[in-house]
Copies of this chain bind each other. A is one copy, B any other.
């Protein structure tokens, strides 16, 4: 994409009404726009990052047998009354609104166990129809009292939510383990794997522990206690009765601020029994499906990356989720040879399927470099009179290292990217 076309502009100064580092950076670089506290819109660069994160997650969900759906936002209260989750005193984060037709209250989905379990009643009859794993990327709404953490805590946010329906707890445990592995892979690919830890949390009624994935971030609203031997953590719900590592019993746990980037729950038969999702087993008996649910907030993941992968100049995107892989910067002045060379390189790389943001704007070199640092595309190519005279292309990684002069053939072949 040509940067002269891209409508979003960068800002030098921090937005006044924003205290969170992730939102400050993402707003200044033109990725997002704040509509109100906890509600953000995604501009072209931001949507590209969202879609790349979604692609990474979708691949992992498909690999473990997930089938993708898209459920509605508006929620029928009847389903939620059956599980006891309609009452505002039980679930404080509901947004509710009224149908004009008959003044009926409906909810905006904050999660989707109820409607999906209800849908499955039409599609599950016998043990042959199970197990089944269903996921979506869908907008969730949560009426948060406090929303000052930028896109780390949204009142409206895109979530990947996955639900599993199994015949029994053995089958469930097997899938639950697969999701854990898929989640590790997702956090690795999105660049936060080394700071993200499986964290033991309170298990509710169905198992001793449930699990979260927590990423160590100074701005985190959660506290975790990390075992540096086992690379796992416990959260503050259970640290009092579990003040040593649940695996190696190490008593020296390190207290850290963290953000919950993913969670996985064993739900047992709570929802299937309440909503009537039964199947006929191999002996002809009626049994309730054993369920699990597994979430990752896309904005929260994106915001966590921006918090961690950034310096005083701007963002440093990991390659797989960067809005573009290559930032091609033309420093032409009035030299048309430079412009022609940059244009043809842009075309060649684009034809090779490499995402390129081409800074063809008529602004100073200093402004181009400052914007490049702020936007944070991983690989930068600079075409200038100097590079053309040398017969080479200037190359720099956003994550550090010195400037290299690359042979043109290596640039055109795309060999300079990892």
Chain A residues packing against B (C-beta within 8 Å):
5-9, 11, 30, 33, 35-37, 39-44, 46-47, 50, 65, 67-76, 92-93, 95-101, 106, 108, 115, 119-120, 122-125, 129, 132, 134, 139, 141, 143-146, 155-156
Contact = CB atoms under 8 A, between A and B. Distances in A.
A221 B74 CA distance: 24
Given A7-B134, A96-B97, A101-B145, A72 B41 contact: yes
Given A97-B108, A99-B143, 14 more contacts: A6-B67, A7-B120, A7-B124, A8-B123, A9-B122, A11-B122, A33-B122, A35-B74, A35-B76, A36-B106, A39-B72, A41-B115, A72-B156, A99-B155
A374 to B, nearest CB: 15
B7 A123 contact: yes
A139 B73 contact: yes
A76 B36 contact: yes
A125 B8 CA distance: 11
A96 to B, nearest CB: 6
Contacts of A35: 71-72, 74-76, 115
A68 B5 CA distance: 12
A39 B74 contact: yes
Nearest to A78: B36
A100 B92 contact: yes
- Quick one: copies of this chain in the complex? 2
A98 B41 CA distance: 20
Nearest to A106: B36
B43 A69 contact: yes
B68 A44 contact: yes
| Pairs of residues from A and B, 6 with the lowest C-beta to C-beta distance, nearest first | A41-B71, A42-B70, A100-B143, A97-B97, A95-B97, A7-B132
Contacts of A95: 97-98
A129 B7 contact: yes
A5 B139 contact: no
Contacts of A92: 100
Contacts of A9: 122-123, 125, 129
A70 B42 CA distance: 5
A93 B40 CA distance: 23
Contacts of A123: 7-9, 30
A8 B115 CA distance: 15
A168 B108 CA distance: 40
A5 B119 CA distance: 17
> Which of A6, A11, A75, A106 has the most CB atoms of chain B within a 10 A radius of its CB?
A106
**Interface-central residue, A47, A123, A124, A146, by most chain B CB under 10 Å:** A123
Q: Which of A69, A72, A122, A124 has the most CB of B within 10 A?
A: A72
A199 to B, nearest CB: 28
Contacts of A36: 74, 76, 106
A70 B11 CA distance: 20
A72 B7 contact: no
28 contacts: A5-B67, A6-B67, A7-B132, A8-B123, A9-B122, A11-B122, A33-B119, A35-B71, A35-B76, A35-B115, A36-B74, A39-B72, A39-B74, A40-B72, A41-B70, A41-B72, A41-B115, A43-B119, A44-B67, A46-B70, A47-B70, A50-B70, A95-B97, A99-B155, A100-B143, A101-B145, A108-B108, A139-B139
Nearest to A125: B9
A146 B132 CA distance: 36
Contacts of A43: 69, 119
Contacts of A74: 35-36, 39, 141, 155-156
A272 B243 CA distance: 59
A64 B74 CA distance: 34
B73 A73 contact: yes
A67 to B, nearest CB: 5
